[in-house]
Amino acid sequence: MYNTSVNQYLREHIRTVMDWPAPGVQFRDITPLLQDAKVFRVLIDAFVHRYMDPALRPDVVAGLDARGFIIGSVIAYELGVGFVPIRKKGKLPFTTVEETYELEYGSATVELHVDAVKVGHRVLLIDDLIATGGTMMAGKKLLEKLGAEVMEGAAIVDLPELGGSAKLRASGLPLFTLVNFEGV
Ligand code: HSX
């Protein structure tokens, strides 16, 4: 956790939408954090303050499709490093590596351009939310296929009851999240 008051401020601006996208699901909607200029700045600065520390400064930020693009690209810009998108299959034009992972029903595939990172690059991997952890784990595997090191995974929201953050940490990936929702 970053800082209690910042955490609480951000939590208050996350909208919970009941029964979306399916009955019984409480969707944690981060769009209200983005639409208010002050909240957006507090959000981005929470990440930038952490990763501008020379010990934690990445070579590249990788964002997961699609909300990871919104925050990841701004964080990369502020840190003065490059940004690379990890996209759902079929969206990237150049040669890619791909990784398929299981969803609750079916599977999904994500892709990354083969020249997106260099061997040995220290990469910060960003998404809006960690639920089962499948998406972030797939992103980590893609970056590692190209010889990069994912130095940390970061997200605005963690849903720990779904087990994703524990699974990611158990795989050796350090995680940084700002808001933790115990009920899902
Ligand atoms: C949501 O699913 C978020 O935006 C993330 O990209 C992803 C998190 O779910 P999970 O892969 O951790 O279960 O659409």
Q: Which of 127, 157, 167, 168 to mutate to test the pocket of ligand 1 (most atoms within 8 A of CB)?
A: 127
Predicted complex: ipTM over 0.90: yes
- Ligand 1: does its nearest atom lie under 6 Å from the Cβ of 137? no
User: In the chain, which ranges are E strands?
Assistant: 15-18, 26-29, 60-64, 82-88, 96-102, 107-113, 122-130, 149-158, 175-180
Write down how long the chain is: 184
* Residue 3 pLDDT class (50, 70, 90 cuts): low
Write out pLDDT tens, residues 158-168: 999 999 999 99
Nearest CA to ligand 1 atom 5: 129
pLDDT number for residue 104: 75
**Domains detected in the chain:** 4-180 (3.40.50.2020)
Atom of ligand 1 nearest to the CA of 67: 4
Atom of ligand 1 nearest to the CA of 130: 12
What would the mean pLDDT of 61-90 be, rounded to a whole number?
98
What would the mean pLDDT of 53-64 be, rounded to a whole number?
98
4-12 vs 37-51: helix crossing angle, rounded to 10: 140
The answer to whether 95 and 113 are in contact (CB under 8 A) is: yes
Provide, rounded to the nearest whole percent, the portion of the chain with pLDDT above 90: 94
Distance 130 CA to ligand 1 centre (A): 6
Write out pLDDT tens, residues 85-116: 999 999 999 999 999 999 877 899 999 999 99
* Residue 8 pLDDT class (50, 70, 90 cuts): very high
- Ligand 1: does its nearest atom lie under 6 Å from the Cβ of 164? yes
Provide, rounded to the nearest whole percent, the portion of the chain with pLDDT above 70: 97
For residue 130, what are the β-bridge partners? Answer: 158
Cα-only R_g, the chain: 16
> Does residue 173 register a pLDDT over 90?
yes
Write out pLDDT tens, residues 114-138: 999 999 999 999 999 999 999 999 9
* Residue 182 pLDDT class (50, 70, 90 cuts): confident
Q: Coil, strand or helix: which one is 125?
A: strand
Distance 66 CA to ligand 1 centre (A): 10
Q: What is the mean pLDDT of the chain?
A: 96
